Structure 1
Amino acid sequence: MSLLLLAPMEGLLDHPLRETLSRVGGLDRCVSEFIRVTGTLLPERAFTRVVPELLQGGRTRAGTPVRAQLLGSDEQCLAENAARLASLGPAGIDLNFGCPAKVVNRHGGGAMLLQDPELVFRIVAAVRRAVPARMPVSAKMRLGFNDDSRAEDNARAIEAAGADELVVHARTKVHGYKPPAYWERVADIRAAVRIPMVANGEIWTVEDARRCREASGCESLMLGRGIVSNPGLALAIRGEGGGIAWAELLPLMLDFWVHVCRRVDPRHRAGRLKQWLNYLRRTYPEAQSTYDAVRTVNDPRQAAAAVFGEAAAHIDIPKPQRRTWAQALHPAADEALA
């Protein structure tokens, strides 16, 4: 089976962007940002804060299933939290063995765990036992921490512990996000296990997707920064479109902005808009000029007005008045603000 998945990226691919990108189409599943587990049983609100889709059947508004990701190093605590999370109805539970962030690694989580395949096995096995058999359990790993010498050992541990699927980001922690991605090493790992595998890393274009599939042997791919830069990438990989024009993207960006205004503190809202525009510059010349116009703007109303027009500055006004402003911006925004 060939799947296209949306990657979990802390601080980037959160709920607002998942909602918007899944609305474009072409994605089979999303994976949430990680939910950090550090020794306590989290309340339900801790899960729904990171994965609001749990409140709507474990899917985005477009109907794309969302698998919730856990990060931690204590297998018993992870198991207890996985059981609670499973009761909330995600499309599955994913385990993070790939985060390269120093603060995460310093506390023994993320990619740091790849130095201990036995612990990786215990974590996956504990979570698998803790959740219903019908609940998929998957894992996402890098090639390793300092090097890739234990890549196959970690993959075998994940498989032996009962995981249903493995995503491999084709770089080590030391590589970070620097190109290239070592897709051929994914092929080596794929030869060592039998569970379904997904390749991830440096897939920016349709041609990248073709080469990744050829080098890794994986038909299923996970898209991260590439689809943030080009929201139509999944459709293009499927051969279902040649891209999304800037005029078509603007209403989707407005949809994103509405979600940001609902969920993000006002002082951080302009930053989220600028962050996405920064990625979009790779695909859209119009994004460059728009980014230049808001690069130094921190006031959310001014940023929204610069990108969408003066009406957008009033998106956070009382709900009954929003529809008027939506219609002034674009008919497609009407649904977003309803």
Structure 2
Amino acid sequence: MKLILAPMEGLADFWVRQALTDVGDFDWCVSEFVRVSGQLLPPRVFYRWCPELKNGARTRAGIPVHLQLLGSDPSCMADNAMRAVTLGAPAIDLNFGCPAKTVNRHRGGAVLLDEPELVHAVTAAVRRAVPAQVTVSVKMRLGNQDDALALDNAMAVQEAGAAWLTVHGRTKRQGYRPPAWWDRIGAIRETVSIPVIANGEIWTVEDARRCQRESGCADLMLGRGAVANPWLVRALRTGQACEWQDIVPVLEQFVGDVIGSGTDAQVAGRVKQWLSYLRRRWPQAGALLEQVKRVNQPEAMLPYLRQAVELQGRAEPTTEKA
């Protein structure tokens, strides 16, 4: 069973990847997408979205980071993939799943799933451009407005030479509304011969096991579920759960790491964003968020974090949502 940390624009940035891989035994993680739009990007753009390139393309805990590209021009995507490799990217992942309207309006992400021939062309161009030892993979949704072309896109990816395919079990139109259609990922897995990784709406160990059963995929990509429960990977591998007091030191470390990475308000906003996810499982996180919601200096949050266990006690986690 391979467990991968998903690329999540605006959520799983360098700092969150670092924090989550410190405590979770991921096989690898995927960077936020580097957007390719008609030009060869300078190195600083790759370093911005994937600072781990300066550290052997690994997180602080040594977990490999694959670099994701998003774009629709085969030649330009190939050139930028090659540049990423020269900067140290060990693997290239191609984004055909982003549902963001801004990205889609500029012919990127999930809208390309209406054109399986273009999905093939982009994937094939990148595969030809990079050395054989560099893995090229693809992440896609079931489709754009519907999933009528899901199998065509999967076959296009396979025929273009991708090593594996990650499928988010919803269309672009469905966004992030539950449920994720894991059985439809299974139909793709049965059609192609390359490995398929299932993704979407995996919040709990029970979700993960059900996803594996319905999709037939042993390997899973975890996104928001791993942010809401940083111990989810550990629980899947060992059955070991965590208590609220285990989470607090992770938050303290995160605040210390991220100070100075943006304005005080931006950094404080990142901490609040994570607390908002954590409260899905732990009511203590919700109470802590109420305490700091008007605090816009990250250093001023630290006393609240240090007192969090004593203030909130060791109440049992809330029932997780499926």
**TM-score band, normalised by the shorter chain?**
over 0.9
Q: Which letter maps to 1:21?
A: L
- Per mean C-alpha deviation after superposition, the further-off stretch among 93-102 and 294-303 is 294-303
Aligned-residue sequence identity (percent) comes to 55
**Contact map agreement 2:261 2:267 (CA 8 A) in 1:** no
Q: Secondary structure at the match of 2:89?
A: coil
Matches within 5 A, 1:136-285: 136-241=135-240, 243-285=241-283
- Distance, in Å, in 2 between the alignment partners of 1:35 and 1:308 is 36
1:248, distance to aligned residue in structure 2 (A): 2.0
- Distance, in Å, in 2 between the alignment partners of 1:245 and 1:90 is 36
1:126 and 2:135 matched: no
* Unpaired stretches in structure 2, ≥5 consecutive residues: 308-322
Q: Which letter maps to 1:298?
A: N
- Distance, in Å, in 1 between the alignment partners of 2:109 and 2:256 is 32
Paired residue for 2:66?
67
* Unpaired stretches in structure 1, ≥5 consecutive residues: 310-338
Paired residue for 1:301?
299
Q: Which letter maps to 2:54?
A: L
- Distance, in Å, in 1 between the alignment partners of 2:306 and 2:72 is 44
- Distance, in Å, in 1 between the alignment partners of 2:272 and 2:252 is 13
**Contact map agreement 1:96 1:140 (CA 8 A) in 2:** yes
- Distance, in Å, in 2 between the alignment partners of 1:44 and 1:266 is 27
Q: Secondary structure at the match of 2:47?
A: helix
Matches within 5 A, 1:321-336: none
* 1:271-327 superposed Cα distances (whole Å, 9 cap, x missing partner): 100000000001112111101111233333333443346xxxxxxxxxxxxxxxxxx
- Distance, in Å, in 2 between the alignment partners of 1:104 and 1:38 is 11
1:255, distance to aligned residue in structure 2 (A): 1.9
Q: Which letter maps to 1:62?
A: A
**Contact map agreement 1:59 1:91 (CA 8 A) in 2:** no
Q: Which letter maps to 1:81?
A: N
Paired residue for 2:39?
40
| Consecutive aligned runs of 4 or more in structure 1 exceeding 4 Å deviation | none
The Cα RMSD (Å) is 1.2
Kindly tell me the number of residue pairs found equivalent between the two proteins.
Answer: 307
- Per mean C-alpha deviation after superposition, the further-off stretch among 293-302 and 205-214 is 293-302
**Contact map agreement 1:117 1:153 (CA 8 A) in 2:** yes
* 1:174-214 superposed Cα distances (whole Å, 9 cap, x missing partner): 11000000000001111111111100001111110110000
**Contact map agreement 1:59 1:66 (CA 8 A) in 2:** yes
1:88, distance to aligned residue in structure 2 (A): 1.6
- Distance, in Å, in 1 between the alignment partners of 2:149 and 2:301 is 47
Q: Which letter maps to 2:116?
A: P
- Distance, in Å, in 2 between the alignment partners of 1:250 and 1:300 is 15
- Per mean C-alpha deviation after superposition, the further-off stretch among 244-253 and 91-100 is 244-253
Q: Which letter maps to 1:296?
A: R
- Per mean C-alpha deviation after superposition, the further-off stretch among 140-149 and 35-44 is 35-44
* 1:10-53 superposed Cα distances (whole Å, 9 cap, x missing partner): 00011101001001022111001001111111111111111111
**Contact map agreement 1:198 1:218 (CA 8 A) in 2:** yes
Tell me the TM-score normalised to structure 2 length: 0.93
Q: Which letter maps to 1:280?
A: L
Q: Secondary structure at the match of 2:161?
A: coil
Q: Secondary structure at the match of 1:143?
A: strand
1:240, distance to aligned residue in structure 2 (A): 4.4
- Distance, in Å, in 1 between the alignment partners of 2:178 and 2:93 is 25
- Distance, in Å, in 2 between the alignment partners of 1:15 and 1:294 is 23
Q: Secondary structure at the match of 2:227?
A: helix
CA 1:308–1:36: 2 relative to 1, 3 Å: farther
Q: Which letter maps to 1:299?
A: Q
- Distance, in Å, in 1 between the alignment partners of 2:290 and 2:29 is 31
1:239, distance to aligned residue in structure 2 (A): 2.4
- Per mean C-alpha deviation after superposition, the further-off stretch among 116-125 and 249-258 is 249-258
1:267, distance to aligned residue in structure 2 (A): 2.8
1:245, distance to aligned residue in structure 2 (A): 2.1
Q: Secondary structure at the match of 2:93?
A: strand
Paired residue for 1:20?
19
**Contact map agreement 2:66 2:90 (CA 8 A) in 1:** yes
Paired residue for 1:105?
104
- Distance, in Å, in 2 between the alignment partners of 1:291 and 1:227 is 19
- Distance, in Å, in 2 between the alignment partners of 1:197 and 1:280 is 29
- Distance, in Å, in 2 between the alignment partners of 1:279 and 1:81 is 34
- Distance, in Å, in 2 between the alignment partners of 1:266 and 1:258 is 12
1:90, distance to aligned residue in structure 2 (A): 2.0
